[in-house]
Amino acid sequence: MRTRFLNLALLAALLVGSALAYPRLPDRIPGHFGLDGTPTRWVETSPASWFLLPLIALGLNLLLYAMAALATRDARFVNLPGKERLLALPIERQREVLRRVREGMDALMAPTTLAFCLIQLAIYRSAIGMGGRVEIIAALLLVLLGSTIGTISLLVRTQAELDRQVRLEHEAAMS
């Protein structure tokens, strides 16, 4: 729940910060950055060019929250190693594993939204002549490392919860 709140706070900061920065933008803003964080293409400043990134972030968040909500309603919709063990558990025990999957999916969204925030900040800072290279490189690292580490953590925690629920079910059946 804390990660969901953090993600929503980051998303709100992205949307509000973008709205507050828009009147201060020059006529042209970076439209693309190279891997070294240097702007490689510039575009005319317009509501579409400035607010596209925050709108993509909002849409992606809505899509991911909807997918997480739908996927974790029924164990048949979750794709993870040992799925047959999950499906063999009673519904109450499946729910505990699915809760862990949902928490993990929620946790993956915050680094992604933070990356969008860093990219938008880099666009702003580059546009007003203050650089932006650090933010772009940080966003790239965050996406690459954050999503990888987050996915591994999600799988490890989910598997641990699945093992725990299988063990509890086995112990309950033995008594």
Separation between Cα atoms, residue 89 and residue 87, nearest integer Å = 5
Contact predicate 54/92, CB 8 Å: no
The 10s digit of each residue's pLDDT in 115-125 is 899 999 999 99
Please count the structural domains in the chain.
1
SS3 content of the chain, % helix, strand, coil (to 5): 80, 5, 15
Q: How far apart are CA 25 and CA 50, in angstroms?
A: 9
d(CA 50, CA 43): 10
The predicted structure's pLDDT at residue 134: 85
H/E stretch holding 32 = strand 28-33
DSSP assignment string, 6-52: HHHHHHHHHHHHHHHHGGG--SEEEEEE-TTS-EEEEEE--HHHHHH
- What Rg do the C-alpha atoms of the chain give, in angstroms? 21
Which amino acid would we find at residue 92?
A: E
* pLDDT band at residue 53 under the 50/70/90 scheme: very high
- Residue range of the domain that includes 26: 2-174
pLDDT band at 34 (very low <50, low <70, confident <90, very high): confident
> How does pLDDT run across 134-171, given as a tens digit for each residue?
888 888 888 888 888 888 888 999 999 999 999 999 99
Q: Provide the residue count of the chain.
A: 175
Q: What is the pLDDT of residue 136?
A: 83
Q: Using CA atoms, how far apart are residues 144 and 164, in angstroms rounded to an integer?
A: 30
For residue 39, the model assigns a pLDDT of 92
Under the banding of pLDDT at 50, 70 and 90, the label for residue 131 is confident
Task: Read off the pLDDT of each residue in 22-26 and give the average, rounded to a whole number.
Answer: 97
**Predicted model pTM:** 0.83
Taking all residues of the chain, what is their mean pLDDT, rounded to a whole number?
91
Cα separation of the two ends of the chain: 35
For 3-23, how does the pLDDT look when each residue is reduced to its tens digit (9 = 90+)? 889 999 999 999 999 999 999
Phi and psi angles of residue 154, each rounded to the nearest 5 degrees, phi first = -60, -45
The answer, yes or no, to whether residue 1 has pLDDT greater than 80, is no
Residue 75: phi and psi, rounded to 5, are: -60, -25
pLDDT digits (tens, 9 = 90+) for 55-109: 999 999 999 889 888 888 999 998 888 899 999 999 999 999 999 998 888 888 8
